[in-house]
């Protein structure tokens, strides 16, 4: 090759590269870019939760291990089933696995607003679900399931001692898509169908079925059904729930008012996510493009350190050792503490 031609060849390829870059830039998709940015941040958050679970840093996870050991000693015939419930305290449990599957299933090839909204809302829920305080509270349903299987030997948590319930052991987990689904029968009723490894609850009940009209109309306790579904529940499950609630209402079934769970700090966290979601919904309705990433919606940051409770009857909610701000919107609002903030969307 003639060396004299090299400068011209380099200029030619540089021009081609520049044109290619311009074309890619012109084809960029604001919806897809926004979702990809939020996906990366949410993935990191889910990974951090997994690390905390594997390190046994969540108080209710520790309580599950403790209760599972005590129950296995009390009822060795249930050891196989207790081991399944014990897994929920770690990252191999159905609850955390479901969270990861939802993240993996996110559609990253969003091209328009119609595709953007459900994906944004799903990421929003996964973001909340990977908050260690929220996740810690969700484990109450497993703790109380183990407590009920102990015939009163182990104390339930965050449920008044005098509270009575006409729902059987395992009822705390009913309605949570991590453990089963509602299935219709030939007469039009809907009963809870456990997934394979949880079918032992049907054996405990002697084959009896739990129907949705009785379950949602009775005095039952379930963190997922009272708060979890609206805080970290999947977009699809929330859509199904709205349809189910309307159906139950048409049958004269009044869904019970959500009960209070967890510590004051935990309840404030749930309230913060509710406010965030309301703000996001307003943005989704009022704007033609993706949610405004310059708009601020902050709440307490989870931090990397959590405090655990040694009392089974205490709040059992992990609390942050620092009160930094965490933002779903990747806020660019100037602040003296901005550099220390953690944002959904990877803000600087």
Give tens-digit pLDDT for 123-167.
Answer: 999 999 999 999 999 999 999 999 999 998 999 998 877 776 666
| Residue 348 placed within a domain | no
CA 130 from chain center: how many Å? 6
Q: With 50 as the cut, is the pLDDT of residue 307 above it? A: no
Phi, psi values for residue 268, rounded to 5°: -65, -35
pLDDT of residue 107: 94
What's the rounded Cα separation, in Å, for the pair 331 and 301? 14
| Residue 20 placed within a domain | no
The structural domain count of the chain equals 1
The overall pTM is greater than 0.85 = no
User: Which of the given ranges, 26-30, 178-182, 184-188, has the highest pLDDT on average?
Assistant: 178-182
| Residue 18 placed within a domain | no
| Residue 8 placed within a domain | no
What's the rounded Cα separation, in Å, for the pair 228 and 200? 24
CB burial of residue 279 (10 Å; 0-12, 13-18, 19+): middle
Counting every residue written for the chain, the total comes to: 348
Counting other chains too, the contacts that 98-107 makes at CB distance below 8 Å and 24 or more residues apart are 98/177, 98/178, 99/46, 99/49, 99/126, 99/129, 99/130, 99/232, 100/46, 100/50, 102/126, 102/234, 103/39, 103/42, 103/43, 103/46, 106/35, 106/39, 107/35
CA angle centred on 107, ends 101 and 111, rounded to 5°: 170
| Residue 176 placed within a domain | yes
- Please give the residue range of the domain that contains residue 256: 28-343
| Residue 201 placed within a domain | yes
342-343 and 325-327 strand pairing = parallel
| Residue 251 placed within a domain | yes
| Residue 98 placed within a domain | yes
If phi > 0 it is left, if psi is from -120 to 50 it is alpha, else beta; for residue 309 that is beta
Q: Kind and range of the H or E element at 275?
A: helix 264-286
CA angle centred on 31, ends 28 and 33, rounded to 5°: 55
What's the rounded Cα separation, in Å, for the pair 47 and 130? 9
Task: Give residue-wise pLDDT tens across range 295-306.
Answer: 333 333 333 343
Residues 6+ apart with CB under 8 A from 2: none
- Label residue 244 by pLDDT band (50, 70, 90): confident
Q: With 90 as the cut, is the pLDDT of residue 320 above it? A: no
Task: Give residue-wise pLDDT tens across range 24-35.
Answer: 444 468 899 999
Beta-sheet strands, E only, within 190-303: 190-194, 298-300
């Amino acid at each position: 090759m003639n060396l004299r031609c090299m400068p011209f060849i380099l200029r030619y390829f540089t021009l081609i590269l520049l044109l290619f870059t311009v074309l890619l830039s012109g084809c960029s998709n604001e919806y897809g870019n926004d979702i990809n940015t939020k996906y990366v941040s949410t993935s990191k958050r889910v990974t951090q939760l997994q690390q905390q679970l594997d390190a046994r840093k969540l108080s209710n996870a520790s309580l599950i291990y403790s209760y599972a050991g005590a129950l296995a000693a009390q009822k060795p015939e249930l050891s196989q089933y207790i081991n399944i419930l014990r897994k929920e305290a770690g990252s191999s449990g159905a609850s955390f696995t479901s969270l990861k599957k939802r993240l993996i299933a996110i559609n990253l090839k969003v091209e328009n607003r119609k595709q953007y909204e459900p994906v944004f809302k799903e990421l929003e829920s996964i973001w909340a679900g990977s908050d260690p305080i929220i996740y810690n509270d969700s484990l109450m349903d497993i703790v109380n399931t183990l407590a009920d299987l102990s015939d009163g030997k182990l104390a339930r948590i965050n449920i008044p001692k005098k509270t009575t319930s006409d729902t059987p052991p395992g009822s705390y987990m009913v309605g949570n898509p991590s453990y089963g689904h509602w299935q219709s029968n030939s007469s039009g009723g809907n009963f809870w169908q456990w997934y394979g490894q949880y079918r032992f609850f049907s054996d405990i009940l002697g084959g009896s079925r739990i129907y949705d009209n009785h379950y949602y109309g009775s005095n039952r306790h379930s963190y997922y059904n009272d708060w979890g579904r609206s805080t970290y529940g999947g977009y699809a499950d929330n859509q199904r729930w709205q349809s189910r609630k309307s159906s139950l209402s048409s049958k004269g079934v009044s869904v019970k008012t959500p009960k209070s769970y967890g510590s004051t700090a935990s309840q404030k966290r749930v309230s913060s996510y509710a406010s965030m979601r309301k703000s996001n919904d307003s943005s989704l309705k009022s704007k033609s493009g993706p949610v405004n990433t310059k708009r601020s919606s902050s709440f307490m940051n989870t931090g990397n350190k959590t405090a655990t409770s040694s009392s089974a009857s205490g709040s059992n909610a992990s609390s942050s050792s620092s009160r930094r701000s965490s933002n779903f919107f990747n806020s660019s609002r100037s602040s003296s503490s901005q550099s220390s903030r953690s944002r959904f969307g990877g803000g600087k």
